[in-house]
Amino acid sequence: MLATKSNSYTFQKDGIWYFSRRVPADLRRHYRTGRIAYSLRTKSIRDARVRAMSDAAKLDRHWHILRISSDDLPGKHLLADAVQKAKETLLSSRGRRSTIHYALK
């Protein structure tokens, strides 16, 4: 039997579920603290896991963009112009819905 462990990034305190995730060491300069933690505002483990996994995926995407935009990215000079343009468009579209399709136009 194959055992898998899924990290849900959750913990419970006084019956309420919380999200908690460490900020990676290479991205700590972008944050005031080394851990992101907040209430998921639910007492349901099922709702907490869904919300936590969604938030974790959003953080992963955001951290990926931060890493790509880093000035010390090895091989950054080899990035294609289209990829660079897409990255700049995505970074400038804060608060608006954007897709790679629009970024590559």
What digits encode the pLDDT tens for the residues 3-59? 544 668 999 999 999 999 999 999 999 999 999 999 999 999 999 999 999 999 999
Please classify residue 87 by burial: count the beta carbons closer than 10 Å to its beta carbon, then call 0-12 exposed, 13-18 middle and 19+ buried: middle
Please classify residue 91 by burial: count the beta carbons closer than 10 Å to its beta carbon, then call 0-12 exposed, 13-18 middle and 19+ buried: middle
What number of other Cβ atoms are within 10 A of residue 47's Cβ? 13
| Domain boundary assignment for the chain | 7-53, 69-105
Query: Which pTM was predicted?
Result: 0.64
Tokens 């091989």 found at: 75
Q: What digits encode the pLDDT tens for the residues 52-82? A: 999 999 999 999 988 888 777 677 666 666 5
